[in-house]
Amino acid sequence: MLVACIMGVLVGAVAGMSRGSVDAALMWLADLFLSLPALPLLLLIIYMFRESLKGVFGPEGGVFIMVVAVIGGLRWMQVARLVRAQILSIREKEFIEAARALGASPVRQVVRHILPNALGPVIVAGTIDVAAAIIAESTLSFLGLGFPPGIPTWGRVLFDAKDTIDIAPHWAIFAGAAIFLTVLTINFIGDGLRDALDPRRVL
């Protein structure tokens, strides 16, 4: 999710500070990606580029780069829209007007003043998106398009356990329970971060 957060912050910051046609074009691009079906597109990209990346980076490195890049590249839109909304709100605050009056450039305004005050919701969204990334990777591995057999992942364990479900159902149960508990825990962490980073929270 680091890839999605970096892409989302960059696109959202440029859109929020630019406004006009640049803002409209970037948000149109984000809406276009949001309208695409994630899982079929994910499967299509991996099916098309899997073998070429494995030939360049090896069976393990190629699959790792592909899975990280594809999952991150298809989840930056929510972060971008969130960062844009935060920047549009914060850039009208008095301390930003003071920095602008003192001659701060737009880049300095974003890096030194706006982004530090906008990263709270981004951290929360990134934390919650980690759960979605775990499910996406497990889905790919279960369908046989994720990591190779030599790399143990929960989705791969489920993929291997489907052939022995009658004699060893515990393999599927343990892997499924691990995915469920991990995703549930990360969602609880995201909820806790949202409450802790809420500026309206009364101590």
Q: What is the CATH number of the domain that holds 141?
A: 1.10.3720.10
Confirm whether 114 is domain-assigned.
yes
- Both structure tokens of 77: 């839109």
In angstroms, how far is the first alpha carbon of the chain from the final one?
A: 31
Under the banding of pLDDT at 50, 70 and 90, the label for residue 14 is confident
Residue 100: domain span: 2-196
- Both structure tokens of 61: 């490195």
Confirm whether 202 is domain-assigned.
no
Q: Which residues, in sequence order, are CB contacts of 59 under 8 Å at separation 6+?
A: 148, 150
Query: What is the C-alpha separation between 201 and 115, in angstroms, rounded?
Result: 20
Under the banding of pLDDT at 50, 70 and 90, the label for residue 199 is low
Q: Which amino acid is residue 121, in one-letter code?
A: P
Confirm whether 33 is domain-assigned.
yes
φ, ψ of residue 57 to 5 degrees: the values are: -105, 0
Confirm whether 17 is domain-assigned.
yes
Q: How many CB atoms lie within 10 A of CB 116?
A: 11
Tell me the pTM. Answer: 0.73
Confirm whether 203 is domain-assigned.
no
Instruction: Please determine, for residue 11, whether its predicted confidence score (pLDDT) is greater than 70.
Output: yes
Under the banding of pLDDT at 50, 70 and 90, the label for residue 134 is confident
Mean pLDDT, the chain, as a whole number? 80
Our count of domains for the chain comes to 1
Confirm whether 169 is domain-assigned.
yes
Instruction: Please determine, for residue 200, whether its predicted confidence score (pLDDT) is greater than 60.
Output: no
